[in-house]
Amino acid sequence: MFFCSISGEPPQDPVVSSKSGHIYERRLILKYINDNGTDPLTGEKLEESDLLTVKANPKAAPPRPPAATSTPALLHMLQNEWDALVLEMFALKQQYNSTRQELSYALYAQDAASRVIARLIRERDAAREALANVQAAMGTTPANGAVEDVEMAEENGTQEGALPKEIVDQIDETQQNLSATRKKRKAPAGYTSTAEVKTFVATHTIPSLHSASPAGMTSLAVSRLNPSQFLTGGNDKIVQLYDKSTDKVLASLKGHTKKVNHVAFREHEGESTLILSAGADKIAKIWAHDSASSEYIPKATIRTHKGELTGLVVHPTNSIFALSSLDKTYSLHELSSFTQVYRSAPGEDAFTSLAIHPDGALLALGTPSSKIQICDVRSGNIAASITPLDASPFTVNSLSFSENGYHLLAPDSPSSVAIWDLRKMKTAHTIQLGEGFKVNKVVYDYSAQYLGVAGSEGIRVFAHKSWDELVRFEEAGDVSDMVFGEQGKEIWATSGREVRIWGLPA
C-alpha cells in the first residue's frame, strides 16, 4: 500500500519521483511543481518528466474511507444496497407484469384474427364450390378461370353532406329535447353561489402524476357519474385514470407515440364507460371498462386524420364523438362500431380547437388565423364565421359554449377573452387579462353563471353578465386545463405534474 508524501492518503493516481524516490498523488505533485518547481521533501529541482507512473496490476479498488470501515457503517451500507436491490426487483416485477398483459392481449388479438381469417377462407371455399356446382349443372365455365380473391380497400368514411339519416334523426331528437328544457332551466338547488365562489381556497393537491421526463399534463376530464375519478393526458404519451378518494392510479393507458392533447369520458346509463383520447401522433384511442376484470381494455384506434389532433368532444347523444385536426378537417365517429360516419372537406385553415353546442346541432372550430367557424353538425355546412375586430392574427386554442346555448367563450387575443352573443353574432363583452397572461383554456360552468380562464398566470373566474372577477388562483403557475366540479363547488386544474383543486373552506 502506498501513501502520498504530501497528503498522507492512499493515492488514486500514484507517481514516484526519480530523484527522491518518494510517492505522490499525481494531481498534488503537479500542482506543487507548477508553483515551486522543486521536490516538496528534498528541495531538489523537479520537473514533470521526472515523475514515473506506478502501475498496479491488477488495479486495486480504492480503499474505503475510515468512516466506512466500522461494523455499524458496513451494516448501513449493506442495508442501503439491499434496499436498492429490493426496489429494483419490484420495478422489474411491474415491468414483467405489464409486458405479460400486453403480450396476452397481442396473442388474444392474433388468435381472434386467425379465427376470423379461417372462417372467411372456409366461406370463400364453400362459395367457390357452390359456384362450380352451379356452372357444372348449367354447362358453363368461368370466363377467367378460377375465381379471384376480392381486395376490400379501407374506406375513408362518409364524406361531406352524407351523414347517415339515423344519426341525423338522433341529433334532431336530442336537440329538440335539450333545447326545450335548457332555455328555461335554472341553476340546480344547492348550486354554488357567487358569494361562495369568492371564498374558494386550495383544498387538495395531487402531486407527481405522469412521468418526470417529459413532465407536464396537457388535458383533464372529471367523471360525471363518479366525481372523485378524473382523467389526465400527459406529455409522456400516457392517459391516466385516478381516484381522488383513494389517492390511487386506477389505470395507465398506453398506445400514443406522442403527447396526448385531449381526454374525455363517455358515460351513459346502461352502457360501459368509455375513455377517449386524442394525441399529437394524429390518432385517437378508445378504451372500454370491463366489468369482469374492472380494467380498461383497448377497443379502437382512429387513424382518420393526417395531422395532429387538436380537439375531442363527445356529442350530447352519447352515440358519436367529434375530432378536429391540423389537416384542415374534422370528423364524426360512432361509439358503438367506432366507424367514421362523416369527414369534412378540407378547409382554408387548420383547426386548432373544438367545442360542441349543448343542443348538439352546432360545432365551433378555432383556427390559427383568429377566425372561428360554426358548422351545422347534420349537414356539415358553415353556419357562421366570426373574427375579432382589429385583431392581429393569433391561434384560437380553446372554445366553450354556455349551457343555455346563447354565448360562446373564446380568446380574442393571446391575453384576452371575448363572450360572443350567438343570437346577434356580436361580441357581448371582452375581458382583458394583462399582457403577461397567455390564455390556455376557457370554460363555462354547468349553470352558465360563471366562466373560467386558465393560462400562464394561473386561473381567473368571472361572473357571467356582470363580468366581475370573483376569484383568482395565481399560485398554480402555468395552468394547461381546468374544469368546474359537481354543482360548481370545486375547480380542478392541471399544472405541471400536479392536479390542484379549489373549493369552499373546511
Per-residue pLDDT of 341-387, as tens digits, reads: 999 999 999 999 999 999 999 999 999 999 999 999 998 899 999 99
Can you count the helices (H) and strands (E) in the chain?
Answer: 4, 31
Q: Which three cell numbers stand for residue 120?
A: 372467411
Q: Which residues pair with 362 in a beta bridge?
A: 376
Reference 263, options 210, 333, 313; nearest CA is 313
Dist. CA 367–CA 398, nearest whole Å: 10
Dist. CA 246–CA 248, nearest whole Å: 5
Q: Which three cell numbers stand for residue 353?
A: 380547437
Q: Which three cell numbers stand for residue 499?
A: 392536479
Dist. CA 438–CA 479, nearest whole Å: 10
Burial of 294 (0-12, 13-18, 19+ CB in 10 A): exposed
- Inform me whether the pLDDT recorded for 309 exceeds 90: yes
Reference 237, options 210, 211, 252, 257; nearest CA is 257
CA distances from 471 to 34, 195, 209 (A): 66, 10, 26
* Backbone angle region of 97, left / alpha / beta, with phi > 0 → left and psi within -120 to 50 → alpha: alpha
Q: Which residues pair with 357 in a beta bridge?
A: none
pLDDT, averaged across the chain: 88
The pLDDT tens digits of the residues spanning 73-97 come to 888 888 989 988 988 998 899 999 9
- In this prediction, residue 389 has a pLDDT band, given cuts at 50, 70 and 90, of confident
- In this prediction, residue 459 has a pLDDT band, given cuts at 50, 70 and 90, of very high
Q: What is the mean pLDDT of residues 155-176?
A: 75
Pair 451, 460: CB distance under 8 Å = no
Q: Which three cell numbers stand for residue 491?
A: 375547480
Dist. CA 118–CA 100, nearest whole Å: 26
The pLDDT tens digits of the residues spanning 177-219 come to 888 777 667 778 889 999 999 999 999 999 989 988 888 999 9
